[in-house]
Amino acid sequence: MSHSFLELEQRMLGDLYTTREVMDNLEVLCDDFGSRWGGSTGERLAAEFFRRKFSEYGLSQPRLEPFPYVGWVRGPASLRVVAPIERELPCISLPMSPARLVEAQFVDLRDGAPADFEAHAADLHGRIAMVCSRPPRGLNRTVHRSEKYQRSALGGAAAFLYVNQYAGYGPETGSIANDREAHMAGISISLETGELLRRLQRRYGPLRLRLETTDECPSLTSWNVAADLQGTSRPDEWLVLGCHYDGHDIAQGAHDPASGAVAVLESARLLARHATGALGCGIRFVLFGIEETGLLGARRYVAQHQEELDSIRFMLNLDAAGGPGRKGVLVNRWPELNSFFERCAEQMAIDIPVGQRTSAYSDHYPFFLEGVPTAMMGDPGGVNTGRGFDHTAYDTLDKVELADLREATSVAARLMLRMSQEEPWPVRRRSHAAVEALLASEPSLEGQIIRERMEALYEGGRMKTEE
Ligand SMILES: [Zn+2]
């Protein structure tokens, strides 16, 4: 690595660690714009804010790329025990839930492992499926909320009742369908309310529940926000550094996703200010809209930029990257890149743990499906025990540390710089056949098979079941 290259990084890091621009931006996003939920005023203000900042930082072509989608507006939800006793319980509906009135007994499917659904195959039909948010133990993969919902629906449940695994965090939210109204109502309750239901059932026998949702799914428009830094020696090749900016409507979404969104923005500021003219290939910075109801911005980006996908060297997803823990890379099965990242870590004099795995639940996935080399920032040594306060009302700015924002930015910006200069770049886009083979062999993607089964049953807004 040349002497001037190291000096350039030293100037970037000196700038990063002696200003608090990255935290100032997070405060604007969270305290001024709120959740930035799709369809809210804050969402539009956030998109405009990113474009304005890109322009202020000197990036080329800061732009909003609009796309239409099916949104969701929360209405009041209610949950009541109606027999053999009566009791009103607090709840919220889950994003993309339709407006429904359902009265039925509930079935406790515990952590929602596939085995739990098999065990209740005979008594789930027509009942309310109660499922905990906890990752089931003893599996070689995690089971996402949407898979738990889909298994409930495929099992003939009348509604979905999601219970938080954590005490003191209230209900956990999260969408139950992508870009359309779900066909079955979903509501969410706290651990404490779930425990109360279990106790009441033990004392009074089978409980009859009545739940009502009043949500709406209007047609809306959102925006991906993008801006570029031109490359010099490889102007036709690109890196993509991205993160979504929409948070869930019940919180600030400070950790998920805004801590990563501001790291994308800060990387753009530092690279534009200190590395313009020193890049090999170009870098495109993208803040995606509407990740929380099905990666819609990223899916739309990939669809709108098909002809450019061959020229993307790498896409790094910073979703929620500015939280605690080590800032490594979770690479989506590109072992050819291990030695590159190891060399970077050594030259950068920091720890960059590298893991090789796949995951379908953030904005890198639509790129992954197209064969583009992708990774997400994260700790490959971390064990997934659940979301913590993410997706609850307590994902607020006070949980995010400036030191973590700086560390995430530092790793991302330095890796972008080095990736743009690396010659030859060791990987290129996978064929569709190679992607298909990978999809079939990855245990972590099993949930996608359930999703496809669900999509196949769903046509024109109605379930094609025998009922
Ligand atoms: Zn996120």
User: Distance, CA 328 to ligand 1 centroid (Å)?
Assistant: 17
pTM: 0.95
Which position has the higher pLDDT, 139 or 13?
13
- Distance between Cα 216 and ligand 1 center (Å): 23
Q: What is the pLDDT of residues 280-298, one digit of tens each?
A: 999 999 999 999 999 999 9
**pLDDT given at position 463:** 56
- Quick: pLDDT tens for 55-90: 999 999 999 999 999 999 999 999 999 999 999 999
Q: Identify the pLDDT of residue 300.
A: 98
- pLDDT confidence of 382, banded at 50, 70, 90? confident
The span from the CA of 115 to the CA of 94, in Å, is 24
Token readout for 254 is 């400070």
197 Cα to the center of ligand 1, angstroms: 31
Residues 313-338: tens digit of each pLDDT: 999 999 999 999 999 999 999 999 99
Lowest-confidence pick of 137-141, 181-185, 259-263? 137-141
CA-to-CA distance for 391 and 385, rounded, in angstroms? 14
Query: Ligand 1 centre from 314 Cα, in Å?
Result: 19
Q: How far is the CA of 332 from the centre of ligand 1 (A)?
A: 17
Distance CA 297, CA 363 (A): 8
Alpha carbon of 67 to ligand 1 centroid (Å): 19
Q: 292 C-alpha to center of ligand 1: Å?
A: 7
Beta strand 281-288 with 219-229: parallel, antiparallel or unpaired? antiparallel
Rounded to 10 degrees, what is the CA torsion of 361, 363, 364, 365? 50
Question: Could you say which DSSP state residue 254 is in?
Answer: I
Q: What pLDDT score was predicted for residue 216?
A: 98
Rounded to the nearest whole angstrom, what is the distance from the C-alpha of residue 256 to the centroid of ligand 1? 5
Q: Which residue has the higher pLDDT, 411 or 141?
A: 411
What is the pLDDT, as a whole number, of residue 448?
Answer: 85
Both structure tokens of 398: 């006070």
With cut-offs at 50, 70 and 90, classify the pLDDT of residue 447. confident
What is the model's pLDDT at position 192? 98
Measured in angstroms, how far is the CA atom of residue 250 from the centroid of ligand 1?
14
Q: What is the pLDDT of residue 467?
A: 37
Q: If you measure from the C-alpha of residue 316 to the centroid of ligand 1, how many angstroms do you get, rounded to a whole number? A: 14
Q: How many A from CA of 378 to the centre of ligand 1?
A: 12
Q: 319 C-alpha vs ligand 1 centroid, how far in Å?
A: 5
Q: Identify the structural domains of the chain with CATH numbers, from first to last.
A: 3-71+219-441 (3.40.630.10), 78-217 (3.50.30.30)
Q: Which pLDDT belongs to residue 140?
A: 82
Mean pLDDT over 203-215 rounds to: 98
Confidence bin at 48 (pLDDT 50/70/90): very high
pLDDT of 222 reads 98
Q: Which secondary-structure segment (H or E) carries 264?
A: helix 260-274
Helices and strands (H and E) in the chain: how many? 13, 18
- 26, two tokens: 């997070």
**Inter-residue long-range contacts of 90-93, CB under 8 Å, 24+ positions, other chains counted:** 90/171, 90/189, 90/190, 90/193, 91/171, 91/187, 91/188, 91/189, 91/193, 91/211, 92/171, 92/173, 92/187, 92/188, 92/250, 93/185, 93/186, 93/187, 93/188, 93/213, 93/214, 93/215
Q: What's the 185 CA to ligand 1 centre distance in angstroms?
A: 23
Say how many Å lie between the CA of residue 97 and the centre of ligand 1: 20
Residue 224 has pLDDT above 90, yes or no: yes
* Model confidence at 370: pLDDT above 70: yes
Mean pLDDT score across all residues of the chain = 95
Q: How confident is the model at residue 465 (pLDDT cuts 50, 70, 90)?
A: very low
C-alpha 2 to ligand 1 mean position (Å) = 37
The pLDDT score that the predictor gives to residue 461 is: 52
Residue 1 has pLDDT above 60, yes or no: no
pLDDT at position 466: 38
- Residue 459: the pLDDT is 62
> How close is the Cα of 254 to the center of ligand 1, in Å?
10
Ligand 1 centroid–CA 152 distance in Å is 24
Q: How far is the CA of 318 from the centre of ligand 1 (A)?
A: 9
How remote is the CA of residue 391 from the centroid of ligand 1, in Å?
Answer: 9
> How large is the average pLDDT for residues 152-172?
97
pLDDT over 90 at 113, yes or no: yes
pLDDT at 450 over 60: yes
In this structure, how many other beta carbons lie within 10 angstroms of the beta carbon of residue 108?
16
Residue 290 CA, ligand 1 centroid: distance in Å: 10
Residue 205 pLDDT > 50 = yes
Confidence of residue 4 (pLDDT cuts 50, 70, 90): low
Q: To the nearest whole percent, how much of the chain has pLDDT over 90?
A: 91
Cα-based distances in Å from 161 to 185, 221, 250, 294, 454: 9, 30, 18, 20, 18
